[in-house]
Structure 1
Amino acid sequence: MTKLIVICGATATGKSGLALNLAIRLNSVILSADSRQVYREFNIGTAKPTLAEQQLVPHYLIDICDPTDTITVADYQQQVQALINSPLLPHSPAPLLLVGGTGLYIRSIVQGMKIPRVAPNLKLRSQLESLGQTQLYGMLQQVDSVAANKIHANDNMRTLRALEVFYITGIPISQQQGENPPDYPILQIGLDCEVEKLGLRIRKRTEQMITDGLVAEVEYLCQKYGFELPLLNTLGYQEIKQYLAGEISLDAAKELIVLHTRQFAKRQRTWFRAYPQIAWFDADAPDLLEKVWQRVQNFLDNSN
């Protein structure tokens, strides 16, 4: 029987290191739940596991598409579910490890989110956007009042998506959503620490990324794909891109990365804290691995 262990939490809390140690002990594999590690060539700035780490333990859902491609939550969910059902992966007695900080990715798996498989339609979106948010929200209230009640009147992105799904499929998005949780046992482990300690972790990791060659990585990606590549406007890459453009100093870029990462981590903590199923552990505990290992053993004993 399939068993799944989730390792989640804010960025820089040590999820990858803990997962690597657990996977080695369990003789298992790691399924990444990181929305940027799916892209090839974006390595240092996404804190992607090194090649040496990937050789120690098989990693999946890393480097699965080009930076110019788009992978949706539905695409990710489909690939993970296919892997979980694949005879290529070990199942009983070894659980699979789902590891990362992208809350929506994790939720799509552990709660079995029903996601409309409607690809973004740029032409339709452009036509809709020209109408303005007030009119768009009014249209949504007419065609899908259930969705409109769940979406804030100023939330342009979700309003557009709901209208896009309706006009492409003819079915309100509210009727295509919901959840179908998997029937296999799931243990969710969360890592967290004090805010100030997390800030120190983020600063240390930012310094290490610079040392490891983040500037050269961003410069190479800008030259290959152009400065306008959307992924280059994400955390860690946008700030270095500003430095390369001569807009700010490298020290200023580092400080911005630290600041923006702390803001991002705050949002992640808020997201994950909303789920009572997660068992939380102190990321700075000296006996973290043994405490988590004991919890894993209890989970395996009780799910056989």
Structure 2
Amino acid sequence: MVGPTAAGKSDLAVELALRLGGEVVNADSMQFYRGMDIGTAKLSPAEMRGVPHHLLDIWDVTRPASVAEFQRLARPILDRLLGEGVVPILAGGSGLYVRAVLDDLEFPGTDPEIRARLEAELERSGPAPLYEQLRGLDPTAAAAILPSNGRRIVRALEVIELSGRPFSATMPSYDAVYDSVQIGLDVPRPVLDERIALRVHRMWESGLVEEVRALAARGLAEGRTASRALGYAQVLRFLSGEWTEEQAMEETIRATRRFARRQESWFRRDPRVTWLPYDAPDLVELAVDRVRTCGS
């Protein structure tokens, strides 16, 4: 179950689980974190309606997220559910995390010394020289990475130096490990923009600022991944006095809309995704029919 944020993936995943005898496996990288509930739109126990959910609230906010670790955690859960005759429903908008479970992706290790040297060069000279270096070493990888994305460029160069192989050899492919039915929720962009704004306002009303304040006391600002989460990063800047609360809210809306566009672009590239209209009156039936047709 994939698609942009605020499309309704979590609710549909629950409906499918109830209809198909399934359980939900979370693939939203920010819902891994304990206490990050309001800002990630994490379902409440009542909203889960008795459907077991896996890989929620597994990490403290100070811990960096790792797609490689998620792959190691998620695949045994899928294997166990399949072995028990239970339908695993992978749900979330973190595209690389979904692909890490479903497809044949490998994640090379890291080297702190190489990483520190490249990050120091990035800090000193910016991404342009490193990007030119990457173009010379691995043109395929360079073509798939934005020249401004210093973090990704550093990672690509680190992998090349560490492994002696092109970074592009480790980039996502469509070589599946599991047979799957992938359903995306299609929401027209103007509608999605409005849904995002409404969601952010509701998060504020539900106590997002208080949630972030409590997490800040537990080290949120030191968490390399959690501190950059949408809503949390903006509220931290409000709490530090850098922004007004209104600025933090408006920036959260803008950043979330940009993120939703990147999510949609990622999932649209995958030809295996069947897109269903988010507001179809028979949405659940359409999704169930798709699963059963492909399953047969």
TM interval, short-chain normalised: 0.7 to 0.9
Does residue 17 of the first structure (1) align with residue 40 of the second (2)?
A: no
Q: Does 1:293 align with 2:285?
A: no
Residue of structure 2 in register with 1:4 after alignment: none
Tell me if the contact between 1:13 and 1:198 (Cα under 8 Å) persists in the aligned partners: yes
Q: Which residue of the partner structure matches residue 162 of structure 1?
A: 156
Alignment-derived partner of residue 102 in structure 2:
110
Residue 34 of structure 1: SS of its match in structure 2? coil
Against the structure 1 CA distance between its residues 72 and 290, is the aligned structure 2 distance closer, same or farther, given a 3 Å change threshold?
Answer: same
Farther-moved stretch of structure 1 (19-28 vs 158-167): 158-167
Q: Please, which of 191, 201, 208 is the counterpart of residue 207 of structure 1?
A: 201
The answer to whether residue 56 in structure 2 is matched with residue 62 in structure 1 is yes
Deviation readout 1:8-59 (Å, 9 max, x if unpaired): 0010010000001111222211111111111222111111222334571111
Aligned to 1:279: 274
Gaps of 5+ in 1: 1-6
Which residue matches 2:258? 263
Deviations 1:92-117 (A, max 9, x none): 64421010001111122233223223
Cross-structure match for 2:116: 123
Give the TM-score, by structure 2 length. 0.86
Cα distance per residue 1:200-259 (max 9 Å; x no partner)? 221222222122211110111122216454423331112222333344443443332222
| Correspondent of 2:232 among 237, 260, 264 | 237
Match runs of 1:15-94 below 5 Å: 15-54=9-48, 56-86=50-80, 89-91=81-83, 93-94=85-86
Identity rate, percent: 37
Question: Is 2:175 the counterpart of 1:181?
Answer: yes
Tell me the CA shift for residue 143 of structure 1. Answer: 5.1
> What is the count of residue pairs matched by the alignment?
293
Does the 8 Å contact 1:114/1:180 carry over to 2? Answer: no
Mark the runs of 5 or more structure 2 residues left unpaired by the alignment: none
- Residues 212, 141 of structure 1: alpha-carbon distance in 2 compared, 3 angstrom cutoff: closer
**How far 1:293 moved relative to its partner?**
1.8
Q: Distance in 1 between matches of 2:64 and 2:118?
A: 16
What's the CA shift for 1:262?
A: 1.6
Q: Which moved more, 1:204-213 or 1:249-258?
A: 249-258
Shift, 1:132, TM fit = 5.3
In the superposition, the TM-score normalised over structure 1's length comes to: 0.84
CA distance in 1 between counterparts of 2:159 and 2:50 reads 42
Pair 1:23–1:119, CA change in 2 (3 A): farther
The correspondence for 2:184, drawn from 170, 187, 190, is: 190
SS at match of 1:39: coil
Alignment of 1:127-166 (within 5 A): 127-129=120-122, 130=124, 133-137=127-131, 139-140=133-134, 144=138, 147-148=141-142, 151=145, 155-166=149-160
Distance 1:203 1:146 in 2: 37
The secondary structure found in structure 2 opposite 1:31 is strand
1:82 to 1:179, Cα distance in 2 relative to 1, 3 A: farther
Preserved contact between residue 166 and residue 172 of structure 1 (Cα < 8 Å): yes
Change (3 A) 1:144 1:181: closer
